[in-house]
Amino acid sequence: MCGIVGAIAQRNVGNILITGLKRLEYRGYDSAGVALLNDKGITRVRRQGKVAGLEDAVTEVSAAGFIGVAHTRWATHGKPSEANAHPHMSGSDLALVHNGIIENFQELKDELQSQGYEFTSQTDTEVIVHLLHQVLETGVDLFGAVQQVVKKLDGAYALGVIHKSEPDKLIAVRSGSPLVIGLGIDENYIASDQLALLPVTNRFIFLEEGDQAEISIDGVRIVDADGDSVVREAHEFDGTHEDAEKGEYRHYMQKEIFEQPAAIQKTLEDRIDSPADLIKAFGEKAPAIFDQVKTVQIVACGTSYHAGMVARYWLEDIAGIPCQVEVASEFRYRKHVVPEGTLFVTISQSGETADTLAALRDTQSPNYVGRLAICNVDSSSLVRESELVFLTKAGPEIGVASTKAFTTQLAGLLMMVLALGRQKGLADSEIEKVLAEMRQLPNLIEQAASLDKPIEKLSEHFVEKHHALFLGRGVQFPVALEGALKLKEISYIHAEAYAAGELKHGPLALVDSDMPVVSVAPNDELLEKLKSNLQEVRARGGELYVFADKNAHVKEGEGIHVLNMPAVPETIAPIVYTVPLQLLSYHVAVLRGTDVDQPRNLAKSVTVE
């Protein structure tokens, strides 16, 4: 979704802003712009399309300034176009960038238009900049004007504002949309994601909801939503600049697939030494809360939702705890009955997904005994608003298609299942058995990823296809769903996943020689049933691609392509079997020439409804 970068310094900040925008490209966007202020005033440059085009345009007009704001826009109100791109201006002295949505923009716009303001875009954002202009006309300073204007706004927003008459002030606001302040030496910055600023600083202040900040080269003044001065602690980024680089890989997604053994290792390290240790990773309050849990409600979106679906199988099977899983966009808008003793679990890579956050904020029922976030971003809203947190340690995930976040979420969820199970009397010997299997995960994932070359070869079969079916049974059904999501999101091939037993209840009608059918076949208790389902496909001329345990005896033959997976213990098989499906969609997308890391129409972090 949209990205914000801003900077104030004693040097030209143009390069800091453009570099920052490039580092936010992964979020998904359709246009970009920058406003730079120097002694002569504000120069604004905007372009539809990629940041590289904006960079050329900035060079062409020699735009420069010691203070500036920049933006990548993912269209919500108004089509992708230069006129709708940010920064928006009111007159020639005031420029503003905005992430989020202003829900009451239409009534504000009507009012401003009746007072003579002319709108040059279709965006909701433009009302904010004209409102600011209106208040500034009354003689209030920029920070004061921003504090007055935000009181009139409904919705979610992060803002960056500059004004010609106060060239030593960069104003920032966070309300429902993330924003961090980066601290430099005699220069400071803002961004919607700290990754944007890693080339210039590793020290950050994470604004709280409702915070407004006035930033100069040598200081930061923050007031909270009530206008009271507050001090927010600075934090150092835990990682390196290179964590967010592509390195030797062709795409971030490829790098992130191959990082999975290390990401899982880091996520499990020092956390699974013994059954008694498990609970520590969920926070100090976990023992008291887990003790009261009778049932679990999981809420998430997309890939994170698929992780939740896997967890449901584990929770009921291993810990005997009932579990419901629902996509956040549905859960938040329906009345639901909350059984007594419910643990509310959110799963999110970013921790900023609007629907998941909204669902979390709507958990007032006293029947909830606690809220647990399984999340990859320490500083995210989801983490800050949950009393229990399990941090996945996947490192920055840049590719829009989630890979290492998913497998580390599964590792965390399996730990949660064991920790909850232990509170309910699951024997330590049983837990120890699963922990021993989990310790093999980095190695098994590496073995699965070593199938890269044969999978690349196989991917040639998919390049010309328009549709694909994915099949799995039991706990592998969500893995099939995740495989289908990966293929559709980066290769744009229509893909659906079914629990293999459902095939004959409808989707079998789709199967012919043009329909590749991908299946995951670990050596589990459902293997024989799955093999029968595969026969049903073969009998209708469907071409089968099976990722099968080497001991599963699925035979290669006409129309059946088998890739042998390492022998994997049943419980952890969903984590390992995800990897070949990720690789398959990656290679198909590369062959089809799509934008693997930034697929069309998608955003990495979905911060609007």
Q: Report which of 494, 32, 586 is spatially closest to residue 254, judged by C-alpha positions.
A: 586
Q: Report in angstroms how near the CB of residue 339 gets to ligand AGP at its nearest.
A: 25
CB 100 within 8 A of CB 176: yes
Distance CA 560, CA 543 (A): 6
The Cα-based distances of 110 to 83, 114, 126 in angstroms read: 19, 6, 12
DSSP assignment, residue 333?
A: T
Q: Report which of 249, 251, 212 is spatially closest to residue 229, judged by C-alpha positions.
A: 212
List the structure tokens of 207: 């604004």
Written in H, E and C, the secondary structure of 10-54 is: CCCCHHHHHHHHHHCHHHCCCEEEEEEEECCEEEEEEEECCHHHH
The number of beta carbons lying within 10 Å of the beta carbon of residue 89 is 18
Cβ distance to ligand AGP smaller for residue 84 or 350:
350
CB 89 within 8 A of CB 119: no
How does 438-468 read in b/e, with b if 16+ C-beta sit within 10 Å? beebbebbbbbbebbeebbebbeebeebeeb
Q: Among 50, 486, 531, 604, which one carries the catalytic annotation? A: 604
Q: Among 2, 301, 323, 375, which one carries the catalytic annotation? A: 2
CA atoms within 13 A on the CB side of 213: 32
Q: Report in angstroms how near the CB of residue 397 gets to ligand AGP at its nearest.
A: 9
Q: Which amino acid is at 106?
A: Q
Q: Report in angstroms how near the CB of residue 489 gets to ligand AGP at its nearest.
A: 6
Angle between helices 404-423 and 428-439 (to 10 degrees): 170
CB 571 within 8 A of CB 434: yes
Q: Report in angstroms how near the CB of residue 569 gets to ligand AGP at its nearest.
A: 26
Is 486 noted as a catalytic residue in this protein? Answer: no
Adjacent-strand bridge partners of 94: 90, 163
Q: Report in angstroms how near the CB of residue 372 gets to ligand AGP at its nearest.
A: 15
Q: Report in angstroms how near the CB of residue 412 gets to ligand AGP at its nearest.
A: 13
Q: Report in angstroms how near the CB of residue 603 gets to ligand AGP at its nearest.
A: 8
Cβ distance to ligand AGP smaller for residue 123 or 353:
353
Cβ distance to ligand AGP smaller for residue 54 or 400:
400
Cβ distance to ligand AGP smaller for residue 43 or 303:
303
The residue number with the shortest CB distance to ligand AGP is 302
Q: Report in angstroms how near the CB of residue 402 gets to ligand AGP at its nearest.
A: 4
The Cα-based distances of 338 to 9, 25, 294, 323, 342 in angstroms read: 52, 40, 11, 12, 7
Q: CA angle, 396 as apex, 394 and 402 as ends, to 5°?
A: 70
Cβ distance to ligand AGP smaller for residue 224 or 609:
609
Cβ distance to ligand AGP smaller for residue 349 or 523:
349
Query: For residue 167, is the peptide bond before it cis, meaning its omega torsion is within 30 degrees of 0?
Result: no
Written in H, E and C, the secondary structure of 492-554 is: CCEEEEEEHHHHHHCHHHHCCCCCEEEEEECCCCCHHHHHHHHHHHHHCCCEEEEEEECCCCC
Is 604 noted as a catalytic residue in this protein? Answer: yes
CB 563 within 8 A of CB 428: no
Q: Which amino acid is at 431?
A: I
Q: Report in angstroms how near the CB of residue 301 gets to ligand AGP at its nearest.
A: 4
Cβ distance to ligand AGP smaller for residue 85 or 195:
195
What residues make contact with ligand AGP under the rule CB under 6 A?
Answer: 301-304, 348-350, 353, 356, 400-402, 489, 605-606
Cβ distance to ligand AGP smaller for residue 482 or 543:
482
Cβ distance to ligand AGP smaller for residue 123 or 267:
267
The label of the residue with tokens 């990754």 reads: 195
Residue numbers annotated as active site: 2, 604
